[in-house]
Amino acid sequence: MFRWVVARDLKLAWRRRADVLSTLFFFVIVVSLFPLGIGPEMQLLRSIAPGVVWVAALLASMLSLGRVFENDYHDGTLEQMLLTPQPLYLVVLGKIVAQWLVSELPLVLMAPLLGIQFGLARNTLSILFVSLLIGTPVLSLIGSVGAALTLGLRGGGVLIALLILPLYIPVLIFGAGAVDASVIGASPLANIYLLGAALVLSLVFAPWATSAALRISLE
């Protein structure tokens, strides 16, 4: 069941590659604009890099969130999924996993490369990678609740940002904090652990809240 949902969404994403690429390009361009605008001041760039990369990742994930349920809602496949004899939790989790694989994983893989523009050291780049690897699933999970709540609303895109961005703040603080710590030579582990805790918590609660929100949105 779970497998079917993931496979289906990956197949659909492949048939609509342009959508997926636009998120990635957005991320690459936003991150690259800062070194170009600020100029080659290594010290400054190094200290803003964690925040810039993380904020760009948050914004890029907002871009792709609207699509998680919207298309399925309009063509009626979402109501069919609600009527399947399996727990809705699994359907929702499958959709979130697929969304992460398609829209967030490419950003995570791209981030170390972009970090080079900011003159980050090698071990800082690996911390950046790890923090995004643990943090972006949290973004997808929390974001799915917002996507489900604003489903079918006009101007849902703005509303999603208002609902979800405040909830992203802890992820931003711990994620950027881990990279920051590594820039100044301190241990990033505390922040990484906190991100891990956020991931476990959202993994348990977000799909459940999203399922409830979907049932309400489809009434």
- CB of residue 218 to other proteins, shortest distance in Å: 6
Kindly tell me which residue out of 87, 106, 157, 170 binds other proteins, with binding defined by CB under 8 A: 87
Identify which range of 9-17, 101-109, 159-167, 176-184 contacts other proteins by CB under 8 A.
Answer: 9-17
Say how many residues touch other proteins, by CB under 8 A.
24
Give yes or no for residue 123 binding other proteins (CB under 8 A). no
Nearest CB to other proteins, comparing residues 121 and 153: 153
* C-alpha radius of gyration, the chain, whole number: 18
Verify binding: residue 81, other proteins, rule CB under 8 A: yes
Which residues, other chains included, contact 182 with Cβ-Cβ below 8 Å and sequence gap of 6+? 123, 124, 127, 188
CA dihedral 163, 25, 78, 87 (to 10 degrees): -80
CB atoms closer than 10 angstroms to residue 68? 24
Say whether 219 sits in a helix, a strand or coil.
coil
Site for other proteins in 179-218 (CB under 8 A): 218
43 binds other proteins (CB under 8 A): no
12 is a contact residue toward other proteins (CB under 8 A) = yes
**119/35 Cα distance (integer angstroms):** 10
Cβ nearer to other proteins, comparing 15 with 154: 15
Q: Any idea what DSSP says for residue 136? A: H
CA–CA dist 53, 119 (Å, integer) = 13
Distance of CA 142 to the CA centre of its chain: 9
Residue 4 binds other proteins, judged by CB under 8 A: yes
Q: Footprint of other proteins on this chain (CB under 8 A)?
A: 1, 4-5, 8, 11-12, 15-16, 74-77, 79-87, 91, 218-219
